[in-house]
Amino acid sequence: MRTSNPNEKLVVDKPFDFAEDANWRIFRIMAEFIEGFEFLAPLRKEVTFFGSARLKEDSYWYKQAQRLGYLLGKNGFTVVTGGGPGIMEAGNRGAYEADGQSIGLDIELPTEQRRNPYIRKGIGFHYFFTRKVMLSASAQAYVFFPGGFGTLDEFFEMVTLQQTKKMENVPIVCVGHDFWEGLDDWVKKNLVEKYKTINSDDSSIYTVVDSAEEAFAIIKDTKERKYF
């Protein structure tokens, strides 16, 4: 507390709240980007998994993600996920069981433990958007299993980055005809044919398959890349 003279009203100093200071936030964001890229730099042959956090281990798509993680881990690939449950856990679990590199980029939450137990090396992020950049930063392929709004958000971002040439052309693989075919048909009928808001070639940026083996067949011969 402080006063400037005996007649002045007593003023109590408040602790400086770094989290509410814009400049401090900028430095924190910069630090997360630096730490994230330093974390990713040693990794090789990354394949990033996306999909629902709600799918349990008895789900068919959980098992397919686990199978793909295993195939990738056995063949020297690094499986990267958002570090949480569901499809993320399945991909990490498969790589872990294959004694491969299993990586998690999880988000820091105040009341929940979001890092699944099959991660060999992980890093936590405060901001969703910095984590999102890291998940898309340097993979040789991106694999999308059935999911919700977050999965679709990531899918359309990756497709847009390739469409606009902001990222090299690497496989974007959607696993599950039952889930993805409706969206694929909508893109082709509405965006390509009816409204002509995208070119016909844009709908071939991604590939829809139905199994871990089909996805692995697309990914296995891809070339390594680092950062877009």
Domain boundaries 18-219, corresponding CATH code: 3.40.50.450
DSSP 174-187: EE-HHHHHHHHHHI
CA angle 210, 136, 36 (to 5 degrees): 140
95 pLDDT above the threshold of 60: yes
Q: What is the pLDDT of residue 114?
A: 77
Between the two ends of the chain, the Cα-to-Cα distance in Å is 51
Q: Spell out where the chain has E strands.
A: 46-50, 78-81, 101-107, 121-125, 141-144, 172-175, 206-209
Q: What is the pLDDT of residue 228?
A: 45
Query: Which amino acid is present at 106?
Result: D
Mean pLDDT score, 202-218 = 98
Q: What does DSSP assign to residue 209?
A: E
Q: What is the pLDDT of residue 138?
A: 73
Q: Residues with Cβ < 8 Å from 150, sequence gap 6 or more?
A: 50
Q: How far apart are CA 104 and CA 89, in angstroms?
A: 9
**Per-residue pLDDT tens digits for 24-47:** 889 999 999 999 999 999 999 999
Q: How far apart are CA 58 and CA 60, in angstroms?
A: 6
Could you tell me the pTM of the whole model? 0.88
Length of the chain in terms of residues written = 228
19 pLDDT above the threshold of 70: no
Output the six-digit token pair for 14. 């408040």
Calculate what percentage of the chain has a pLDDT beyond 70. Answer: 88
Rounded (10°) CA dihedral 140, 77, 101, 170: 10
Q: What is the mean pLDDT of the chain?
A: 90
Residue 175: C-alpha distances to residues 92, 119, 154 (Å) = 17, 22, 15
**Per-residue pLDDT tens digits for 48-57:** 999 999 999 9
157 pLDDT above the threshold of 60: yes
Burial class of residue 216, CB neighbours in 10 A (0-12, 13-18, 19+) = buried
